[in-house]
Amino acid sequence: MIIFITGATSGFGKAMVLKFINFGHKVIATGRRENLLKELSQEIPLEFKNNLHTIKLDVTKKKDVEMAIAHLPIEFSQIEVLVNNAGLALGIDVAQKALIEDWDTMIQTNINGVLNCTHCVLPKMVAKNSGHIINIGSVAGEFPYPGGNVYGATKAFTHQFTLNLKADLLGTNVRVTSIEPGMCQTQFSEVRFRGDKEKAQAVYQGMEALSANDIAEVVDWVISRPAHININVISLMPTQQAFGSFAVSRK
């Protein structure tokens, strides 16, 4: 397969790149940080070097996405799987104290980035009558928590956009899936807390969170199902995570 992965320089994206390359797939790895793309290239075994194509790309910039996809090398041009993985959370402040700039960054990345890539890739998949779009969501799109305001809203968008795509694609063989993890120990919390590693580590203290490789394995399972099976949504959490009771403010 030829697999296009956004946000490939760390976390879920990097784990997917390494797994899929070692399985013999061709992978287009994109990310904003060119130095990390170079480091990723160096981790690829020599026998699979030709299976990786890296692109410095900011998915929030529609024209850049269009140019990147239009100018892919011929051997990578027929994208069979798009993994919309690029995304982030910024801050944990309640809405009345949050920075509007953080909200805008999350909307631009988590929503517009998904739209830009999907809009470029989907018509070709429909024309070929095959392909698979994987959107990386979050349990935060279904279950609210204090401080999750806009981040959770962007992931609710991802969930509903995936289902609406599936409705539009009826009559084609193009598949669409939303994968919605709970707590995963990656750089996610470090980004959310603006590089504060102590705060980030505290999030996972005393429990075993999901890993980036766990999510890569789920994506691999989804795309390897027989062509007549579409996995609509997968929601997964660590065993040590569950749902909270309703909160009540008492006088």
Query: What are the tokens at 189?
Result: 């919390």
19-42: b (≥16 Cβ within 10 Å) or e: bbbeeebbbbbbbbeeebbeebee
Distance of CA 42 to the CA centre of its chain: 23
Asked if 145 is an active-site residue, the reply is no
Q: Which of 4, 12, 20, 151 is catalytic?
A: 151
Q: What sign does the CA torsion over 221, 81, 84, 47 have?
A: positive
Separation CA 222–CA 137 (nearest Å): 15
Could you list the active site residues? 151
